[in-house]
């Protein structure tokens, strides 16, 4: 099956991606300037109270503007500004949100707004899923990663000291508002990390999109709004299509983890926070592409092609020298594994991915080729 092609012909960098999930259907709006347009905030679930959850990096940049728009819609707009960082996907932060809502006597119609990157989105989405057994929430993703990945698909979670994303729920937002202008303030490293997930969607689902990304990479790096609009739109369409085939992750959804088996090993092996997730995934895609070639699924030219693109996106293409045994150990923990075999997402032809195990000799060859000597 192939992902339906894009229908947008608008000359303005403006797109809407409808997510069809019956009575949980919603819309992803993608454009510059959305934050300040009253229409963006029209037609949301009615309530007397809204709570904006954000962090201390994003708040000085965008909170006042969102707050101003929402005060035209809700009679009371509460705000909660958390510290920045992955550590906020915690029971403590969840409790702060619950406490804020209860102290403000927020009722079961209260609408939560997640203003920030994937950390704020995952945490706020989970809070919305459990407050009074579920209140509506709106994603306002302000990182490229959040716009193309974490705000689509309905996964919400906090971390447990024993594992990342171990406590959570599937819970869909009422709307996703991806204002491309917010990406102007994103650090370059974070932009590149988001591009890794954009690049991922090409080889796994849409060969033409991979061509398009190559042709438009410098525009994307320069944060050109027209280019970003299409990149975000197509990424959301592909993720939504894959998730729509497999909402609760039984099989197909695994292809979204292309580059992630090697990537997680790099991320964990280097110690959390040294490499950004997207950086590890970028490098992981080089390794997974090479593994695909060594399994005879794609020509070796594909590996060079991916490496060139990933490097041009400002991402690392040389993996850290952790040693074969350590890599194997780290990859053994991966959720995709069944019966001890390490399972990799591989490219089985441009625009088509599958999940397979691989002989240890081939994994060793891949690591020997791409690791720092």
Known binding residues are: 84-89, 118-122, 142-143, 155, 164, 182-185, 197, 260, 277
Catalytic residue among 67, 159, 197, 279: 197
Question: Considering the complex, what minimum distance in angstroms separates the CB of residue 351 from ligand NAD?
Answer: 22
Residues within the annotated binding site for NAD(+)? 84-89, 118-122, 142-143, 155, 164, 182-185
Residue numbers at the binding site for ligand NAD (CB under 6 A): 55, 57-58, 61, 84, 86, 89, 116-120, 122, 142-143, 145-146, 149-150, 153, 155, 165, 182, 185-186, 190
197: annotated active-site residue? yes
Question: Considering the complex, what minimum distance in angstroms separates the CB of residue 27 from ligand NAD?
Answer: 18
Q: Which is nearer to ligand NAD, 186 or 331 (CB)?
A: 186
249: annotated active-site residue? yes
Question: Considering the complex, what minimum distance in angstroms separates the CB of residue 233 from ligand NAD?
Answer: 18
Question: Considering the complex, what minimum distance in angstroms separates the CB of residue 293 from ligand NAD?
Answer: 27
Question: Considering the complex, what minimum distance in angstroms separates the CB of residue 243 from ligand NAD?
Answer: 9
Catalytic residue among 67, 175, 225, 253: 253
214: annotated active-site residue? no
Phi, psi of 227 (to 5 degrees): -65, -45
DSSP state of 282: H
Is the sign of the CA dihedral 170, 228, 144, 127 positive or negative?
negative
Catalytic residue among 257, 279, 307, 348: 257
Give the full edge-to-edge strand order of the sheet including 137-141. 15-19, 26-31, 175-179, 137-141, 111-116, 49-55, 76-82
| Interatomic CA distance for residues 314 and 187, integer angstroms | 12
Residue 50 three-state SS: strand
Q: Which is nearer to ligand NAD, 116 or 351 (CB)?
A: 116
277: annotated active-site residue? yes
Q: Which is nearer to ligand NAD, 92 or 211 (CB)?
A: 92
Catalytic residue among 175, 225, 260, 294: 260
160: annotated active-site residue? no
Q: Which is nearer to ligand NAD, 188 or 208 (CB)?
A: 188
Phi, psi of 113 (to 5 degrees): -115, 125
| Interatomic CA distance for residues 58 and 157, integer angstroms | 20
Give the residue numbers annotated as catalytic, written as ranges: 133, 155, 197, 239, 249, 253, 257, 260, 264, 277
């Amino acid at each position: 099956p192939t992902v339906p092609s894009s229908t947008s012909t608008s000359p303005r960098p403006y797109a809407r991606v409808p997510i069809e999930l019956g009575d949980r259907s919603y819309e992803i709006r993608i454009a510059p300037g959305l934050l300040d347009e009253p229409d963006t905030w029209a037609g949301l679930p009615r309530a007397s109270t809204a709570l904006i959850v954000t962090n201390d990096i994003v708040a000085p940049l965008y909170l006042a503007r969102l707050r101003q728009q929402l005060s035209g819609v809700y009679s009371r707009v509460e705000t909660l500004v958390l510290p920045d960082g992955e550590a906020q996907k915690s029971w403590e932060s969840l409790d702060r949100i619950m406490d804020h809502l209860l102290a403000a006597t927020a009722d079961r119609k209260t609408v939560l707004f997640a203003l920030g990157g994937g950390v704020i989105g995952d945490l706020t989405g989970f809070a919305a899923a459990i407050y009074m057994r579920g209140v509506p929430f709106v994603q306002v993703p302000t990182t490229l990663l959040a716009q193309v990945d974490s705000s689509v698909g309905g996964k919400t979670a906090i971390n447990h000291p024993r594992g990342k994303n171990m406590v959570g729920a599937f819970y869909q937002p009422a709307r996703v508002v991806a204002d491309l202008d917010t990406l102007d303030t994103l650090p370059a490293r974070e932009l590149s990390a988001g591009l890794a997930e954009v690049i991922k969607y090409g080889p796994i689902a849409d060969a033409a999109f991979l061509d398009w990304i190559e042709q438009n990479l410098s525009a994307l790096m320069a944060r050109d709004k027209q280019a970003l609009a299409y990149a975000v739109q197509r990424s959301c369409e592909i993720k939504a299509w894959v998730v729509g085939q497999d909402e609760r992750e039984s099989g197909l959804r695994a292809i979204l983890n292309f580059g992630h088996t090697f990537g997680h090993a790099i991320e964990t092996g280097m110690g959390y926070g040294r490499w950004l997730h997207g950086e590890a995934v970028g490098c992981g895609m080089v390794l997974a592409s090479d593994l695909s070639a060594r399994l005879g699924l794609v020509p070796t030219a594909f590996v060079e092609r991916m490496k060139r693109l990933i490097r041009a996106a400002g991402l690392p293409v040389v993996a850290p020298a952790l040693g074969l045994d350590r890599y194997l150990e780290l990859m053994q923990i991966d959720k995709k594994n069944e019966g001890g075999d390490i399972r990799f997402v591989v490219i089985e032809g441009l625009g088509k991915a599958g999940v397979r195990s691989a002989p240890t000799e081939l994994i060793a060859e891949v690591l020997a080729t791409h690791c720092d000597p």
